[in-house]
């Protein structure tokens, strides 16, 4: 009985020690702090590229030319941003960063994405059937976008021994939806070197 009791205690302690050993250490940091763990595309790259490319886009002639001719702010929508890289990149996060920068600039108006428009149209259809005439929103009143921003992310990797070069090239284009003219083409390059530690045998 005593041996069994001691064995159970030993097993319990072993379980506790194992649980403690496998529990990760979590440290909260500022969301804007730059942290590079693997050298891959991360939240800092997404935010900084969006900020710089939107700033460059809005400083180009297409914007004042449109404002002068139409006497209003252009309506913009962000289309597909393709991931042509050799790693997983959350293009949805990058698109949201672009949308935020465009809208918060105060220089353009923003149109909801294709998926969002479909959801909103379903809501209007439901309102037409179930909401009062005074409060239901009618169909056919949407604003069409004047320009679409779209592009792609490419990468090139070069490695020699323990050192690796990671190169990212982001291409964005602003396209006039009426004429299909490209009114702005932007490019942003990022280079990172990653040095892997020597293995200990």
80: CATH: 3.40.50.10610
Q: Count CB-CB contacts under 10 A for residue 163.
A: 11
Q: Is 139 helix (H, G, I), strand (E, B) or coil?
A: coil
- 87 in any annotated domain: yes
Taking the C-alpha atoms of residue 83 and residue 45, their distance in angstroms, rounded to an integer, is 14
Q: Residue 179 domain-assigned?
A: yes
Give the pLDDT confidence score for residue 46 in this predicted structure: 92
Containing domain of residue 143, as a range? 41-195
Please say whether the beta carbons of 67 and 58 come within 8 A. Answer: no
Q: Is 96:112 a contact under the CB 8 Å cutoff?
A: no
In the chain, which residues have pLDDT < 70? 1-21, 26, 29-38, 199-201
Q: How many CB atoms lie within 10 A of CB 2?
A: 6
Strand boundaries in the chain, DSSP class E: 75-83, 109-110, 147-160, 163-176, 182-195
Is residue 90 domain-resident? yes
Please state, in angstroms and rounded to a whole number, the distance separating the CA atoms of residues 69 and 1.
93
- Whether 20 maps to a domain, the answer reads no
Looking at the 3D structure of the chain, how many domains does it have?
A: 1
Nearest C-alpha neighbor of 160 from the set 194, 199, 200, 201: 194
Query: Residue 200: what pLDDT?
Result: 57
**What pLDDT, in 10s, does the model give residues 155-166?**
888 777 788 888
Asked whether residue 58 is assigned to any structural domain, the reply reads yes
Q: Is residue 129 part of a domain?
A: yes
Does residue 200 belong to any structural domain of this protein?
A: no
Which pLDDT tens digit goes with each residue over 166-187? 899 999 999 999 999 999 999 9
Other C-beta atoms lying within 10 Å of the C-beta of residue 84: 12
Residue 131 lies in a domain: yes
Residue 111 CB: number of other CB atoms within 10 A?
A: 19
Q: Which residue has the tokens 């949407």?
A: 142
Residues 6+ apart with CB under 8 A from 144: 75, 111, 177
pTM of the model as a whole: 0.77
């Amino acid at each position: 009985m005593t041996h069994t009791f001691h064995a159970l205690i030993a097993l319990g302690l072993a379980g506790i020690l194992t649980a403690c050993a496998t529990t990760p250490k979590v440290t909260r940091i500022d969301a804007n702090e730059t942290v590079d763990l693997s050298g891959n595309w991360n939240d800092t790259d997404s935010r900084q590229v969006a900020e710089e490319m939107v700033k460059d886009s809005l400083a180009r002639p297409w914007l004042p030319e449109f404002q002068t001719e139409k006497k209003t702010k252009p309506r913009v929508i962000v289309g597909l941003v393709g991931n042509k890289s050799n790693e997983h990149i959350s293009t949805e996060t990058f698109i949201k960063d672009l949308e935020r920068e465009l809208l918060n600039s105060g220089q353009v108006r923003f149109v909801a994405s294709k998926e969002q428009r479909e959801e909103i149209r379903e809501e209007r259809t439901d309102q037409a059937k179930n909401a009062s005439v005074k409060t239901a929103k009618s169909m056919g009143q949407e604003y069409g976008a004047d320009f679409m921003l779209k592009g792609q992310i490419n990468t090139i990797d070069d490695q020699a021994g323990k050192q690796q070069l990671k190169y990212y090239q982001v291409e964005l284009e602003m396209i006039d939806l009426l004429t299909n003219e490209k009114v702005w083409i932007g490019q942003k390059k990022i280079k990172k070197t990653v040095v892997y530690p020597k293995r200990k045998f």
